[in-house]
Structure 1
């Protein structure tokens, strides 16, 4: 059964899977490497997170800081919950792949494919959203760690803490928030690439083009978008002063 299903999957579809994985993993590695060499969304946010933690250590009341962390965690919780619903829908489709095949066969813009090829598309989406779920839930846990660090931060009038220990606390607390933000970003990337899989239901070459377009969109938004440029200018202004 497995051999027969594999033989029904065209070579172009296997090429699609390979290109999808290469683009996703390759861009993630590229973005992480480039962030260490030049200013990007992740690197400039790290600067502002360190400034946030330094400012927090100078305040007696941290209610606003706790609310900010809770707000960030709320966004991640929304996507984690949404991902569960999407996975439930996709898993419900797999046993009814024959019915879905008949429905799509009646659409003129959809390429006629076998049930095995259609199942490959659904399984790929399931894998993407499983990854997204684990990533979002890990981000949620890390934001929970951030809440603990906000509560455990030394007060301004605590004489037992030196300037060095306060700076160390600020840098490492910002690093924890960084990791939570990175996990959230990885989950969002999964959603972007999942959107490109929808083009595969129309035609494999359209899917390859959609994956390439997603990479271009992510690159522009993380390195050359207007919000990134504005935050870079703010960071430069702080350094100059």
Structure 2
């Protein structure tokens, strides 16, 4: 009975704001990965460059440069994965410390039950956990890519050379896709923190997150550079 009494603070506007955040997260991810041909995303443009990279790798002897670039990409996934793990631990500690949550609510003069605060933290944790899993998978895929790259014969004319290089390119693209999904998860987790300011705050921060991601994928200066004619 007490739980139901506390849940009355979770209003229909809260439900709308949370649904808006989760729907934006999923729909925007789909649009970025499967954009219209008339306006491709930066991620799709970079996927083409990754394919070209693996083809060019065939001609480099030795392939130290390619290994160094791949190692840098893999280190990035490890860094963000570690950061997410720390954030998850901090979020779980905050949920378990109800006294601290009550103190925060009093400092902000917000009369909201502890369970609502826990739900708000849990929403951000769900997104961060998803990002963590994506970063771990990206790290593994970059490892697969490295193994396939190492299996590419040194002889350019060998029958296996180009097919294996193309396989490495597709694995690299899959790893980058998982990495980008992890980054979007972090973006929306930060947007989810707006819920602490109420449902209106969550709607505003979610809209800001969508705007930032759309701009960076479809209207950024770096995208224009990538699309410049090279002739």
TM-based fold match above 0.5: yes
1:70-85 equivalences in 2 (<5 Å): 70-85=71-86
Q: Which residue of 2 aligns with 1:105?
A: 106
On the 8 A contact 1:60/1:156 being kept in 2, the answer is no
1:30-179 equivalences in 2 (<5 Å): 30-34=31-35, 38-107=39-108, 111-157=110-156, 159-161=157-159, 166-179=161-174
Distance of aligned partners of 1:35 and 1:134 in 2 relative to their CA distance in 1, 3 Å threshold:
farther
Partner SS, residue 155 of structure 1? coil
1:224 CA drift (Å)? 1.3
Partner SS, residue 156 of structure 1? coil
TM-score, normalising length from structure 1? 0.88
TM-score, normalising length from structure 2? 0.92
Q: Which residue of 2 aligns with 1:193?
A: 188
RMSD of the alignment, in Å?
A: 1.9
Partner SS, residue 154 of structure 2? coil
Distance of aligned partners of 1:128 and 1:14 in 2 relative to their CA distance in 1, 3 Å threshold:
same
Q: Which residue of 2 aligns with 1:181?
A: 176
Provide the C-alpha distance between the structure 1 equivalents of 2:226 and 2:202, rounded to a whole number of angstroms. 34
Distance of aligned partners of 1:57 and 1:189 in 2 relative to their CA distance in 1, 3 Å threshold:
same
Q: Which residue of 1 aligns with 2:220?
A: 225
1:102 CA drift (Å)? 2.2
Q: Cα deviations across residues 24-49 of structure 1 (Å, max 9, x unaligned)?
A: 11111222221655332122112211
Q: Cα deviations across residues 67-89 of structure 1 (Å, max 9, x unaligned)?
A: 11000000110000011111111
Q: Cα deviations across residues 126-171 of structure 1 (Å, max 9, x unaligned)?
A: 11111111110000000101111221112135x542xxx5443333
**Unaligned stretches of 5+ in structure 1?**
none
1:206 and 2:201 are equivalent in the alignment: yes
Distance of aligned partners of 1:20 and 1:202 in 2 relative to their CA distance in 1, 3 Å threshold:
same
Provide the C-alpha distance between the structure 1 equivalents of 2:20 and 2:73, rounded to a whole number of angstroms. 33
On the 8 A contact 2:6/2:113 being kept in 1, the answer is no
Provide the C-alpha distance between the structure 2 equivalents of 1:160 and 1:175, rounded to a whole number of angstroms. 20
